[in-house]
Structure 1
């Protein structure tokens, strides 16, 4: 039987083109796709030895059978590795590659059996052999090679169908097409044994994967020409999965970020392109240089490199402070600051690295004199904390189950609590607790602060109505009114409806409004406050002294209580000048017939001084920490 070499020769040509494009165009060579090169090389070598073995087999019996068997053995060694490498590539891409050593051994077992069978074939003659008549023939266990390759094909199909959520739909389709091409080629070849199609099918699959899965265009930032932030995070994921140490270098230029607003768009893009090109050339393709934020570059370095270029590159980047970049007729300088993180020592996972990237602009402002930052300059873990709070907040809104706490506000004249401040908290999955300021800040970022406030009002009003008898000595429930609530000019209607539904006495409601909200909403806020004041609702200016309140703006506002923030209470009590300043501010508000309250009171000495300064109310741990509704009721019962 004569073998047709045409498709093998075509496979060699396609494989050469594929490898050229992969290396020359710097196609995707990082993250889950970094093992693609191994597949492309294996397909090329398989095609070369397939063509060679077919040539020698066709020349039998006129040529040596040893040459035929040598090329056949090499062909099967590479050809039967393609399915295994493809399975590892696809599983790794979806984050499904086993981590445990035992599972990895099991995954590699069929491949190891095939390789062992092929390597021992010259002795066993079970796969193929050249008979005494110098004719090439298949052995009795030839089918086992196809059987073992089929196992990996089934693993790939199972991953793409049963774990489809791990893959993008476009990538899922591309992987499926790439997996089916060699199978279809093998089926056609089965009906015409002389037509060598398997390597051709494999080379087509490799090229298809290069064009679709390995295509770097969807991973690149259009402005810088480098990998974008999402790609960088994907590369980080791959690096952490390897469980091997690596280094992250973050280069940040505040000047490059600031120039975005002062240069013309065309000039700014040209500047970014110049700096990015330099960064790519200086770091080398192996560092996966990425544009991870405005003026922020991220680079990954493996510690397996024979030489560690991180330190040298950091010095080169710092030397950019003296470089001048030509942009049109302008010459600008873009000095950099550098952060080096040794992973996993300095950053244990992706979120820790992202924390540093997101905080770098703020760190640069606070440490303008520094050129090199370490992990100690960042609040590593902030991102994880924010994510945990956001997840807990989503659960809270979905279940309509806010965790409300109540802190007593002590009346000096009555010598007992006269009000309860309603505080919002959240229990996180790691048994930590998030308190009101953090929860409200997260809600603002998520755009759900109004929804959260309405839910808090509803639950607090219902709780008060259910415990009306036990709360007979409490004149007020003090609740924070967030800024986003005030964006709606008709928010008083929401308050009135919620109170009516819960049968809440509006004379018991006191809304706390911060200085920032007052400065932002001015006259419209005053009008709505007057409307609710006419219904019996009272208002307190919260956290006075934490911002920059204009006392003139407060004049038309119907505040009945001014709550001094602990940020000015505690420092103010520590000096004569501070105490005089507090007394002066108290006197101003007393003349406006406002009651004044001090927050953050922790000691008897502080309480005594504040009473002498003519404060009306005191709040702080000295008089009680925030407690659940049940506990505060019990505490009030027991006096």
Structure 2
């Protein structure tokens, strides 16, 4: 009588039980592969349990237990076939393919599995797999090896499927499947060699553990702070939902004030606030489709319009009252972006871009704002996507144009300088707003290349038309934050000016006030390089954001351009007029020239002239002109 070692079976059972608890603690991942994996764990646990029970009775070899022995062994064989089938289904669930293909393959494999299960259940009659003799001993039948051969065939089907369709799997998924099969093969081989060491169940538990830590590691798929699903899991979950072709609606919560809260109350308070919001979102979303995508963004998915409306109302209500965190009452607002029938978007990257587009539509307000997709926002987004597609071609073939808008000197009554402006004409969409294509270029790392191409055009235009330098004292050129911070970019611009043999002093580089306040250290070094060469620096859009006199004093600006928004009301609001007048006086007293942007009426001109503004820029005198038009304009308008 063989003395079987069941220690490995017990260890394997303990592994799987704790693994199941761990899996449940971090929420059973709510996708096809996650649910199939859960069934694999359950089937593995029962497989080991019946393996243990049958092994214990096998050691006893008591005829009184023959019926139990037959029952436990039959259940063991049935469960082994079920485990094989579930594992096959699991490998199909991992595939990133059409759901109909997965369903078809699963149904095909179900036929032979069902036939084997019937054969095992009827073994009590034909005894071809096993039986118990009168002495209570377990005896292999003539067809005993059929079950092992069938298992090997199923494993071969998994291997062939993974090999043929490997492009439909992620690399870590294929690696985990290979490791599972490798561990199982080693343990089965050991048991075949040493039959007293029951390693098959242990191998199964090790394989499942490998799958768990490779594909469902909580550190990868569960946000450590809030316990919600992470961005990594969202990227696996969303494509599966799309393939299932089911109704899906999304609410994104953008906590745009989180950085401010962290500064005022501390990061710990900010984290506690995030935890409170996460718990609330988890509570209102019964389907448990809640993700923390970034530090300040949450996704809430629903599968019906009714749930969408319920969740939307609950979320809006949440941000209407102050949060209580560590004795503090914090008023906290958010931008809520809703997309109905989000399954129509299909691609994750397109969805992320659409949500970014919706967030950009948020008006300047401290209140919680709801922005829902509609036909208008869809058209705007599709327009932006079309421009995005065209951008690569436009940069590669240098299809951008440079327009010039001259600035009028109110005292000397002539055009004194002009600003170079980038323009883009789409074959079918016509002229594209600079705000659109420059924003896209900055977002996708194209702005430095675009800016350099345009700057070369400006230099070439000046060099080829020396009469420009006779009539215009300088050229203003805008630099984006990313251009200013790009290593070596400033030296590249300086070398280009040298290449075209143009005096450095002929250029003024404009930077926005946002850049001046947020990018101090790198900015100061770049500006120092420009200043040393003789290039003047102009602060653009003063008054549109957060720049103050401290910012103006820190950097060597020669010119301050007042944002067009400051003009609103100067002709009929005495306080607005007084503010504008005083800003002009302060800036000039500090030694800066003042440019008024956005001037459009004679009334505005009269006031600006009275207040001593140096230069005006706007449609009152001229709109931006292309290279031919600007030459004609400067030759025609002497005064």
- Is TM more than 0.5 here? yes
Check 1:67–1:292 CA distance in 2 against 1; reply closer, same or farther (3 A cut). closer
For 2:432 and 2:106, how far apart are their aligned partners in 1? Answer: 47
Contact 1:50 1:199 in 2 (8 A): yes
Which of 139, 142, 160 is 1:137 aligned to? 142
Cα drift, residue 29 of structure 1: 1.7
Contact 1:250 1:298 in 2 (8 A): yes
1:185-213 per-position Cα deviation (integer Å, ceiling 9, x unaligned): 34445556787644432222112323443
For 2:230 and 2:373, how far apart are their aligned partners in 1? Answer: 23
1:30 aligned residue = 30
1:150 aligned residue = 156
Cα drift, residue 117 of structure 1: 3.2
- Please state whether the residue corresponding to 2:345 is helix, strand or coil: coil
For 1:175 and 1:454, how far apart are their aligned partners in 2? Answer: 49
1:287 aligned residue = 288
Cα drift, residue 235 of structure 1: 4.0
Which of 345, 348, 373 is 1:348 aligned to? 345
Cα drift, residue 78 of structure 1: 0.4
Contact 1:543 1:564 in 2 (8 A): yes
**Greater alpha carbon shift after TM alignment, 183-192 vs 542-551:** 542-551
1:74 aligned residue = 78
1:88 aligned residue = 92
2:495 aligned residue = 497
Contact 2:262 2:269 in 1 (8 A): no
Check 1:531–1:197 CA distance in 2 against 1; reply closer, same or farther (3 A cut). closer
1:244 aligned residue = 246
- Please state whether the residue corresponding to 2:142 is helix, strand or coil: strand
For 2:218 and 2:34, how far apart are their aligned partners in 1? Answer: 11
For 1:178 and 1:274, how far apart are their aligned partners in 2? Answer: 39
Check 1:247–1:38 CA distance in 2 against 1; reply closer, same or farther (3 A cut). farther
TM-score (norm 1): 0.65
Cα drift, residue 359 of structure 1: 7.1
- Which runs of no fewer than 5 residues in structure 1 stay unpaired? none
Which of 172, 177, 180 is 1:178 aligned to? 180
Check 1:120–1:256 CA distance in 2 against 1; reply closer, same or farther (3 A cut). same
Contact 1:7 1:200 in 2 (8 A): no
1:201-248 per-position Cα deviation (integer Å, ceiling 9, x unaligned): 222211232344323134444443444454455544544443322344
For 2:240 and 2:215, how far apart are their aligned partners in 1? Answer: 16
Contact 2:508 2:538 in 1 (8 A): yes
2:96 aligned residue = 97
1:407 aligned residue = 403
2:136 aligned residue = none
1:43 aligned residue = 44
- Please state whether the residue corresponding to 2:44 is helix, strand or coil: helix
2:459 aligned residue = 461
Check 1:68–1:172 CA distance in 2 against 1; reply closer, same or farther (3 A cut). closer
- When the two structures are aligned, how many residues end up with a matched partner? 606
- Please state whether the residue corresponding to 1:287 is helix, strand or coil: coil
- Please state whether the residue corresponding to 2:215 is helix, strand or coil: coil
1:311 aligned residue = 310
Cα drift, residue 278 of structure 1: 6.0
For 2:184 and 2:224, how far apart are their aligned partners in 1? Answer: 35
Contact 1:246 1:300 in 2 (8 A): yes
**Greater alpha carbon shift after TM alignment, 606-615 vs 493-502:** 606-615
Check 1:39–1:254 CA distance in 2 against 1; reply closer, same or farther (3 A cut). same
2:208 aligned residue = 206
For 1:271 and 1:609, how far apart are their aligned partners in 2? Answer: 48
For 2:280 and 2:607, how far apart are their aligned partners in 1? Answer: 67
Check 1:532–1:204 CA distance in 2 against 1; reply closer, same or farther (3 A cut). closer
Cα drift, residue 75 of structure 1: 3.3
- Please state whether the residue corresponding to 1:479 is helix, strand or coil: strand
Check 1:356–1:28 CA distance in 2 against 1; reply closer, same or farther (3 A cut). same
Contact 1:318 1:337 in 2 (8 A): no
Contact 1:423 1:479 in 2 (8 A): yes
For 2:98 and 2:510, how far apart are their aligned partners in 1? Answer: 53
Contact 1:232 1:298 in 2 (8 A): no
For 1:240 and 1:434, how far apart are their aligned partners in 2? Answer: 33
- Superposed CA RMSD: 6.7
For 2:550 and 2:26, how far apart are their aligned partners in 1? Answer: 62
For 2:325 and 2:597, how far apart are their aligned partners in 1? Answer: 58
Check 1:336–1:563 CA distance in 2 against 1; reply closer, same or farther (3 A cut). closer
Check 1:593–1:255 CA distance in 2 against 1; reply closer, same or farther (3 A cut). closer
2:137 aligned residue = none
Check 1:395–1:188 CA distance in 2 against 1; reply closer, same or farther (3 A cut). farther
- Please state whether the residue corresponding to 1:29 is helix, strand or coil: coil
- Please state whether the residue corresponding to 1:130 is helix, strand or coil: coil
Check 1:432–1:234 CA distance in 2 against 1; reply closer, same or farther (3 A cut). farther
For 1:495 and 1:319, how far apart are their aligned partners in 2? Answer: 51
Check 1:497–1:35 CA distance in 2 against 1; reply closer, same or farther (3 A cut). same
Cα drift, residue 84 of structure 1: 0.8
Contact 2:402 2:423 in 1 (8 A): no
1:453-482 per-position Cα deviation (integer Å, ceiling 9, x unaligned): 4453235434655x5599899867653244
Check 1:501–1:252 CA distance in 2 against 1; reply closer, same or farther (3 A cut). closer
For 2:76 and 2:491, how far apart are their aligned partners in 1? Answer: 84
TM-score (norm 2): 0.65
- Which runs of no fewer than 5 residues in structure 2 stay unpaired? 133-139
Contact 1:254 1:361 in 2 (8 A): no
Contact 1:530 1:558 in 2 (8 A): no
Aligned pairs for 1:506-525 within 5 A: 511-512=509-510
For 1:265 and 1:518, how far apart are their aligned partners in 2? Answer: 26
Cα drift, residue 40 of structure 1: 1.3
1:13 aligned residue = 13
Is residue 215 from structure 1 mapped to residue 217 from structure 2 by the alignment?
A: yes
Check 1:336–1:232 CA distance in 2 against 1; reply closer, same or farther (3 A cut). farther
Contact 1:355 1:379 in 2 (8 A): no
For 1:27 and 1:423, how far apart are their aligned partners in 2? Answer: 54
For 1:59 and 1:394, how far apart are their aligned partners in 2? Answer: 79
